[in-house]
Amino acid sequence: MNNTEITRQKAIQRYVRAIDKGDLEEIINILEQATTDPDLDLMLIEANQAVEQEEGLTAFAKDTAFVRQLVQQHFNSNIMSDEPDARPLTIGEVAARMQADRNVPKSDQAIHKTLLHFSTPLPEFLNIQAIRKLASELQISASEKFWRIFRDTAIMMGIGRGQAQMAAARKQKARKSGTGRTDSGNKK
Amino acid sequence: MTMLKRYTSHQIRNVANSMWLSLDPGHLALSISPLYEMLSAYPIRTAEIIGLTFQSATDFLTSETGQVIPVPENGDQPLAGFLFIQRFRSAFYGCILVEQGDPIVRRRFSAAHELGHYLLHFRPILESLPGDADLILAEGLTYSKDSPDELPSGKLAMVDSPNRDVQFNFIGNDLVEREANQFAAELLIPEAACNIIYESFSQKYGTKRQILTKRLATEFLVSAEAMRWRLATLKLQSS
């Protein structure tokens, strides 16, 4: 196990402890860490599921999903906007988001689990034909409904990632010009 | 100042026809156009939401993307459709929202209208700019309260350097809206199919114009008003 993996393991242990204690501040810290580490993000999702299944803490798991969304919304666009994720979206990231959103059709859950580990980048022009071609090339058989949700999720993530980068560029520009204005993107 | 490309009726028809030609041949026999299939040919998500306004549209996008999404206007004015398209570093994504409470014929027309803006107005701008130029285009679509049977209209707005500023500039006008409406009508009521079905039904319904129009509207899953407008533009009936 290398240093990065050890750090992730420790983060997961801290995360589970924080869930036990209801320590929202620590949960936010770790979720923040996960916004730049997709592997940690996946591990957190799995940890959430495990906690939920073993202890029936559905309501709390929903809370963490909500916190995750808040962290993404606020940290990506403001606090962490200097280093937004500029990599192309991957199949695994979209699958992880579907899981976090609890948006995986029951009949496709097995195939979805395998997709979580795919680091294949998505096609740049994300139409349904490109998704079908990708599925055929990777020999993945899932329902039409699954691929529709997958594509919708990927499009929303793509918009979000672009917006995060644009917000970061605006913030950097404001800093350079010395105005200190941090436009989050909302026109008043 | 961004200049929008202008179109003749013939050019708009060609763009709409190209959508039909890109479909699997099995779809060509249908009179109800497979709109979802057509929209899916682009990286554009379509969704229906209840109580569509600029505010609910931005709430939806913010919730789905995890980012605060800029929109051209604020407020709770009811919308029939909403378009948001962005290109950032060559990655292009979009979202079309329609009001879930509207009748299906209106929802389809609203979505087709917004697709028209993408194909007729957004794509040419993208093609005219360098590959790394960033852009956001948005529109809220409404129907007139006073004349709800008229075709819809919106105000197209654009941010041409969203990595510098998110100030929207309104670039559309009535002509641009008419082009999007014509595109929607061409897409949902293709001329060739309309001529054939009109011929067949007019033998049955004769001079009963209103009944004929409603019957044709059902056949194409469009509103009676859109059908009337289409028949007039095809000179099959006077407006």
- Residue-wise pLDDT for A32-81, tens only, equals 788 777 778 778 877 776 766 555 444 454 555 566 666 655 554 444 44
pTM: 0.78
> What is the block-wise mean pLDDT of chain B (239 residues), using blocks of 10 residues?
84 92 72 90 96 95 91 90 92 95 95 96 87 88 81 90 87 92 94 89 81 92 91 82
- In angstroms, rounded to a whole number, what is the distance separating the alpha carbons of residues B181 and B136? 21
Q: Is residue A31 pLDDT above 50, yes or no?
A: yes
Tokens of A145: 């409904």
Inter-chain contact A165–B91, Cβ cutoff 8 Å?
no
B 153-192 → A contacts, CB under 8 A: 162-168
- In angstroms, rounded to a whole number, what is the distance separating the alpha carbons of residues B48 and B67? 20
- In angstroms, rounded to a whole number, what is the distance separating the alpha carbons of residues A94 and A154? 6
Nearest residue, CB atoms, B66 vs list A69, A126, A173: A69
Inter-chain contact A162–B89, Cβ cutoff 8 Å?
yes
- Residue-wise pLDDT for A138-166, tens only, equals 999 999 999 999 999 999 999 999 999 99
Substitution target from B35, B49, B67, B119 for chain A, most A beta carbons within 10 A: B67
* pLDDT (0 to 100) of residue A90: 94
* pLDDT (0 to 100) of residue B82: 97
Q: In Å, how far is B215's CA from the nearest CA of chain A?
A: 33
* pLDDT (0 to 100) of residue A179: 61
Inter-chain contact A162–B168, Cβ cutoff 8 Å?
no
Q: In Å, how far is B10's CA from the nearest CA of chain A?
A: 27
- In angstroms, rounded to a whole number, what is the distance separating the alpha carbons of residues B121 and B124? 6
Ramachandran angles phi, psi of A26, nearest 5° = -65, -40
What number is the average pLDDT over the span A6-25? 78
